[in-house]
Amino acid sequence: MLAAACQMFLGKTEAEIAHIALETLEGHQRAIMAHMTVEEIYKDRQKFSEQVFKVASSDLVNMGISVVSYTLKDIHDDQDYLHSLGKARTAQVQKDARIGEAEAKRDAGIREAKAKQEKVSAQYLSEIEMAKAQRDYELKKAAYDIEVNTRRAQADLAYQLQVAKTKQQIEEQRVQVQVVERAQQVAVQEQEIARREKELEARVRKPAEAERYKLERLAEAEKSQLIMQAEAEAESVRMRGEAEAFAIGARARAEAEQMAKKAEAFQLYQEAAQLDMLLEKLPQVAEEISGPLTSANKITLVSSGGGTVGAAKVTGEVLDILSRLPESVERLTGVSISQVNHKPLRTA
């Protein structure tokens, strides 16, 4: 800056240096004023001063001059335009002052009304709280009264209940005594019953059971004997049947040889031949009747209390069937064996 100052102002007086600095500042001031309106310059002097100081300082530094401060002393014009703006501003300020005063009065009235309202509300709330407190007191007092009465009633009921329990315990003890006495009586009766049962068993039941056992053994022995007899008779019948079957086979072979002679005999003796043929077939019929008995391995006979029992019963049944053969033969063939015996034989 010293070198720039020597180069710029060497040989010049202080007045000339001050004039150069003033012109430089005025030039930058006019340049900045060209970009701002009159209203902006008049209303925002701080902004205008800062812009002039910023631009002029950098330029003056290059000339070797340092700007310490820049202050606007006054702003005016020859046509009193800025003065008119000041009046308008003053009127606006006065207007704003009056408006502010009115608003302040209004706000004061509002705050006063709110204060009164809050006072009334506080009074009402106080009365409500007092009423609530009175209600809570009465409710609590009623609850306490109910609790006291309940406790008193519970105490009375507890006393009555204890009296009832004591009576019940006394009654239960009395009943238990009766139960014990009854149990002792029952025990004595049971012992007497047991003694009588033992006496009855010794006197009556034991001999009766011995007699019953004896009769059962005798009945089983008799039953076994009857079963053995029936089995023996059945075996005998089977053996006889086998023998008769062998004899029938032999006779059949002999009959095959005699068929021709019998045919000739039938030519000569009609009814006698028929009778002879029937008589010859009767044993075969008897064999067929007794055939089921021969195939039986075991026959068990049970007596109903009357009649013959044993092998004789089986034989009687077979003979009864055979005695009915003549009648059956007459119905089947028309030949009566009893009538043929009384008729004379006819020859051809």
pTM: 0.26
Confirm if 24 and 60 have CB atoms less than 8 A apart.
yes
pLDDT of residue 348: 41
pLDDT exceeds cutoff 80 at 110 = yes
Q: Higher pLDDT residue, 31 or 210?
A: 31
The percentage of residues in the chain with a pLDDT greater than 90, rounded to a whole number, is: 0
Average of per-residue pLDDT across 43-65 = 81
**pLDDT at residue number 247:** 77
- Cβ(32)–Cβ(52) under 8 Å? yes
Domain ranges of the chain: 1-75
State which of 134-143, 189-198, 213-222, 315-324 shows the largest mean pLDDT: 134-143
Q: Mean pLDDT, to the nearest integer, of 101-109?
A: 86
Q: What is the pLDDT of residues 275-296, one digit of tens each?
A: 666 677 767 777 776 677 667 6
The whole-number pLDDT of residue 334 equals: 66
Q: Distance (Å, rounded) from C-alpha 44 to C-alpha 47?
A: 6
pLDDT tens digits along 215-247: 888 888 888 778 888 787 877 777 777 777 777
- Best CA proximity match to 294, nearest among 225, 218, 242, 233: 242
**For residue 112, is pLDDT > 80?**
yes
Q: What's the pLDDT at 347?
A: 43
Report helix angle 311-323 to 325-333, nearest 10. Answer: 30
Given this model, what pLDDT does residue 221 score? Answer: 80
**Poorest-pLDDT segment among 39-48, 53-62, 339-348:** 339-348
Q: What's the rounded mean pLDDT across residues 80-92? A: 68
Mean pLDDT score, 141-146: 87
One-letter-per-residue 3-state SS of the chain: CHHHHHHHHCCCCHHHHHHHHHHHHHHHHHHHHHCCCHHHHHHCHHHHHHHHHHHHHHHHHHCCCCCCCCCCCCCCCCCCHHHHHHHHHHHHHHHHHHHHHHHHHHHHHHHHHHHHHHHHHHHHHHHHHHHHHHHHHHHHHHHHHHHHHHHHHHHHHHHHHHHHHHHHHHHHHHHHHHHHHHHHHHHHHHHHHHHHHHHHHHHHHHHHHHHHHHHHHHHHHHHHHHHHHHHHHHHHHHHHHHHHHHHHHHHHHHHHHHHHHHHHHHHHEHHHHHHHHHHHHHHHHHHHHHHHHHHCCCCCCCCCCCCCCCHHHHHHHHHHHHHCHHHHHHHHHCCCHHHHCCCCCCEC
Is the pLDDT at 32 greater than 50? The verdict is yes
Bigger pLDDT: 198 or 334? 198
What residues contact residue 278 under an 8 Å CB cut-off, 6+ apart?
329, 333, 335, 337
For residue 339, name the pLDDT band (cuts at 50, 70, 90): low
CATH number corresponding to 1-75: 3.30.479.30
Distances in Å between the alpha carbon of 211 and those of 134, 214, 342?
Answer: 105, 5, 65
Could you give the CA distance from residue 287 to residue 242 in angstroms, rounded to a whole number?
10
- What is the rounded CA–CA span in Å between residue 84 and residue 291? 170
Task: Choose between 139 and 315: higher pLDDT.
Answer: 139
